């Protein structure tokens, strides 16, 4: 029983030692995070990744897509970081940012094409469009597919 009690005391000691190691780190990490983010006040902002589709671009596209409208996202080629291509990253971000419009994986199933990136042209998909609008700030184009 003595060894069992010694093991129990070891558990208490380990728990206290663990907290002693991590508590100061956790506290200072939380403090520095608050210092970094206090003052940011956008309910839809995504830190760092927002540059994939800046807020002005999101607003431009959202004004041209109806809720539940199916869109295909066309992006320039490239890679963002290991294992994730640039088009995958932009499409992933657009799924979040352009809700309640619905992204589809096949341009032929889309009601609209959203192009992101300088030089991206919906005409490259070979579809017919009823209307093509380019963001004057550059980088974003919305093309309504002709039906």
Q: How far is the CB of 40 from other proteins (least distance, A)?
A: 6
Q: 25 by DSSP, 3-state: which?
A: helix
Q: How far is the CB of 60 from other proteins (least distance, A)?
A: 19
Output the furthest CA–CA distance in the chain (Å, rounded). Answer: 84
Q: Which residues bind other proteins (CB under 8 A)?
A: 1, 3-5, 7-8, 10-12, 14-19, 21-23, 25-27, 29-31, 33-34, 37-49, 67-68, 70, 82-83, 92-93, 95-96, 99-100, 102-105
Q: Please tell me the distance from the alpha carbon of residue 4 to that of residue 29, in angstroms, as a whole number.
A: 37
Looking at the Cβ atoms of 84 and 123, the one nearer to other proteins is: 84
Q: Which of 92, 78, 85 is nearest to 49 (CA)?
A: 92
């Amino acid at each position: 029983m003595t060894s069992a009690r010694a093991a129990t005391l070891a558990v208490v000691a380990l728990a206290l030692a663990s907290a002693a190691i991590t508590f100061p780190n956790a506290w200072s990490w939380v403090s520095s995070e608050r210092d970094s983010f206090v003052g940011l006040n956008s309910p839809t902002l995504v830190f760092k990744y927002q540059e994939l589709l800046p807020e002005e671009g999101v607003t431009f596209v959202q004004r041209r897509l109806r809720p539940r409208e199916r869109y295909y996202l066309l992006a320039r080629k490239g890679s963002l970081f290991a294992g994730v291509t640039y088009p995958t990253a932009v499409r992933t971000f657009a799924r979040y940012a352009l809700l309640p419009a619905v992204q589809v994986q096949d341009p032929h199933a889309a009601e609209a094409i959203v192009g992101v990136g300088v030089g991206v042209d919906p005409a490259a998909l070979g579809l017919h469009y009823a209307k093509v609008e380019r963001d004057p700030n550059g980088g974003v184009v919305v093309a309504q597919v002709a039906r």
